[in-house]
Amino acid sequence: MSTPLTEAFAERMQSVGGRISYTTAEGLAETLGGLVERDRPVLFTPELRDLARQLRDVGHEAYVGTREGVAEQTEAAFEGVLERAGTGVSGSLLGISSTGSIAVGPGGGNGGLLIAFPPHSVIILQADSLRKNLAEALPEVERRFDELDGEAVFVSGPSRTADIEMMSVVGVHGPTGLDVIIVEGKEA
């Protein structure tokens, strides 16, 4: 059930090395399970606590990616889990179709870290939160700025550099892989 907005978004995101999956709210856990490495921890922003539990239920080492979240489940230090983590999973505020970007909020604390630190980043985007362009998206972020504690990151693809002879290399300090899961509503 793709729309011109999701199609344009996907095309842009893919052109800079992001991968796109489509799913529904019901299929989310399964889709996610297919994307993450089995033998490394998966860290979630707190609003995705349920999703973390669903992954744990099928055998993944999955945590809410905060000091408390990790402490609730294991003796291991938060730092250690973070360093071992294969994937960081984060929700999002909205997507921008024309630039292929996603705005991510503070994610209950460590959101900003979870999209940048683990080698693999997954961001979940609700299809109906897609906006046409920056001009439509920015005022919305601005309106919600207080509730976001003034923290937002526009992510457009995995981290990259061209500092050696202008050759594009994906995955410098941030993730090498970025998966965007677009969650679509039921067919109308």
Interface residues with another protein (CB under 8 A) are 12, 16, 66-67, 77-79, 82-83, 96, 98-101, 106, 109-110, 112-113, 115-117, 134-135, 138-139, 141-142, 145, 149-167, 169, 171-175
Minimum CB distance to another protein smaller for 30 or for 72? 72
Give buried/exposed letters for 121-131 (b at 16+ CB in 10 A, else e): bbbbbbbebbb
Minimum CB distance to another protein smaller for 1 or for 133? 133
Minimum CB distance to another protein smaller for 1 or for 169? 169
**Interacting residues of 141 by C-beta distance below 8 A, sequence separation 6+:** 93, 94, 103, 148, 152
Least distance CB 33 / another protein (angstroms) = 25
Minimum CB distance to another protein smaller for 24 or for 99? 99
Instruction: Give 65's strand partners.
Output: none
Minimum CB distance to another protein smaller for 22 or for 154? 154
Least distance CB 51 / another protein (angstroms) = 20
Least distance CB 44 / another protein (angstroms) = 14
The label of the residue with tokens 């979870």 reads 114
DSSP string, 10-21: HHHHHHTT-EEE
Least distance CB 94 / another protein (angstroms) = 14
CA atoms within 13 A on the CB side of 173: 2
Least distance CB 46 / another protein (angstroms) = 11
> Please, what's the largest Cα pairwise distance for the chain?
50
**Interacting residues of 123 by C-beta distance below 8 A, sequence separation 6+:** 89, 90, 91, 92, 102, 104, 115, 155, 178, 179, 180, 181
